Every structure is written in C-alpha cells, then in structure tokens.
Amino acid sequence: MSARPAAMLERAAKGTAAFEAAVHRLTDSGFTRPSYLPGWSKAHVVAHVARNADALVNLLTWARTGTETPMYANADQRAREIEEGARRRPEELRAELLAADARLAGGLAALPDECWAATVRTARGREVPASQVPWMRVREVWVHAVDLNIDTGFDDVPQDVCVALVDDVAASFRGRPDCPSVRLRSEDGAHSWLLGESAAAEPVVVSGDLPSLAAYATGRPVPGPLYPTGGGSLPTLPAWL
Ligand SMILES: O=C(O)/C=C/C(=O)CC(=O)C(=O)O
C-alpha cells in the first residue's frame, strides 16, 4: 500500500482553492482592512499563508533529501517576511500566493512514496512524519480563510476538516492546566472530545454542530448556537496555535 496521504492531499487542494477564491474576492483596498487576527490586516494573513506554503516545501525537501531544512530560519525571519509581504501591492501579493501554492502543489505531487514516512521537525519543534504536511496545510488554509474576515465562515469548512481541527485542538490542549475541563459533543452524538485536564472534576459539556464546535475550539467566530451544560456561559479556552 502507498504511504501517500491521498485523501489529505485532496483536502489540501480543495482548501487551497477556497483560500485563493476568498483572496480573489478581496478588493485592492480591502487588503489593508483588519482580519480577525489581532494586529493583522488581511494582507498579513495572505502573506503568512504564502510563506507557510514555502515553509512546508522546506519540510518536503527535508523529507526527500534527509538534509535538515527548517520551515523558517527563526521566528524573526518568519515575522519579517510576513510584514514585508503585507506591505506589497495587492496584485503582487496575490501573485505571490499563487506562486507559493504552485510550488507547494508541485512539491507534494513529486514527493516519492518512500519519503512520506520521513521524520521532519515543525517550527514549533514537533517531530512528525512528512505525511502530516498536507494536514498542516489544510489547517492553515481553512482557518485563515475564516480569519480573512471576508465572507468565509466555519459553515463553509468541510465537516471532516471540522472534526480533524477539533482532534488537533484536543491533542494540543490535553493535560494543560490553563485549559478548563470541557467536553465538546456534536449534536448528533457521533463525536466527543475532552479538552483540558482529564483528571479534573465534572467537565462542562458543550454541544452544538460541528462547524460551531470547531470555531469555538479554534477561537474563531462561532456560526451557530452552542449549548453549555446548565445553560451557563461558555468556558474561555486558551488560544490555539
Ligand atoms: O504544526 C506545527 O507544529 C507548526 C505549524 C506552524 O508553524 C504553522 C505556522 O504558524 C507557520 O507556518 O507560520
């Protein structure tokens, strides 16, 4: 069986198309308007997503060659390139995004089967197989399509991506003392996640549809109603990523 993560590659291609389409709907003057991310304009978000594509190409290079090729030289380089990108003219920034997306698509298509299991290290120091790279891109393009604050919301994010996002958040909040104990439950009962300290007393149960749960877990605008146990207020979660 091939180690190629075919389904996730497909999701990455669809998410990338959705992000590019959202940017396409953005007027030139809209680039300088605020995104949902504090201190970032929409242009910052576009520049970050373009640089993330190149950073992921670096991980694919690492997987293919065995030579350590970090996503970014350091946090300063990452921040500087986002700032520089955000100052470019809209047509340049749009073109940069498309070129970076094409480089990443080429790198993903060309990675030999035997390289997907190679271990690489992310900018957050996580050691992961290269087969995680398509998921890392899915996460970036969908969450930041919402962050652009144009017209994409979590209702537009495919349900399987919503589930995978909450899986990701639950894994990163597991056992964290700064995370309240919260059980997220999809309204159809098919999915359930425990956030925060599992040893803590009775968690607050929050139920709702998958887009709303994913939006709440990732700290984004929640499209639909969420129902915490006892009708109280929603617990405040720590920032994710
Ligand atoms: O998944 C990780 O461990 C790291 C992800 C990132 O660093 C994504 C970014 O924030 C980025 O490329 O700037």
Mean pLDDT by 10 residues, the chain (241 residues): 89 98 97 97 98 98 98 98 98 98 98 98 97 98 98 97 98 91 95 84 92 98 92 91 79
Residue 40, both tokens: 């970032």
Burial 193-231, CB ≥16 within 10 A → b, else e: bebbbeeeeebbebbbbbbbbbbbbbbbebbeebeeeee
- Residue 73's identity, in one-letter code, is A
89 lines ligand 1 (CB under 6 A): no
Span from the CA of 174 to the centroid of ligand 1 (angstroms): 19
Shared domain check, 120 and 164: no
Do 193 and 163 share a structural domain? yes
Last residue of a domain, one of 132, 152, 172: 152
Q: Which domain holds residue 145?
A: 6-152
Position 22 scores a pLDDT of 97
Give yes or no for a contact between 195 and 237, defined as CB atoms under 8 angstroms apart.
yes
Find out whether the beta carbon of 138 lies less than 6 Å from any atom of ligand 1: no
Q: What is the pLDDT of residue 230?
A: 79
- In angstroms, how far is the first alpha carbon of the chain from the final one? 33
ipTM over 0.90: yes
Model pLDDT, residue 68: 98
Q: Which of 19, 72, 76, 124 most suits a substitution to test ligand 1, by most atoms within 8 Å of the C-beta? A: 124
Closest C-alpha residue for ligand 1 atom 7: 123
63 plus 130 within the same structural domain:
yes
Ligand 1 and 75: CB distance under 6 A? no
SS (H, E, C) 56-78: HHHHHHHHHHCCCCCCCCCHHHH
- The answer on 183 and 140 residing in a single domain is no
* 238 in any annotated domain: no
The set of residues, in sequence order, having a beta carbon less than 8 Å from that of 21 and lying 6+ positions away, is none
Encoded tokens for 214: 């994913």
The domain that contains 31 carries what CATH number? 1.20.120.450
Nearby residues of 136 by Cβ (< 8 Å), 6 or more positions away: 56, 122
Residue nearest to atom 6 of ligand 1 (CA): 123
- What total of structural domains would you count in the chain? 2
Residue 231 has a pLDDT of 79
Residue located nearest, by CA, to atom 11 of ligand 1: 52
- Ligand 1 centre distance from Cα of residue 187 (Å): 31
Q: Which atom of ligand 1 is nearest to the CA of 241?
A: 10
- Separation of CA 202 and ligand 1 centre (Å): 33
Residue 1 in domain: no
- Token readout for 7 is 């389904």
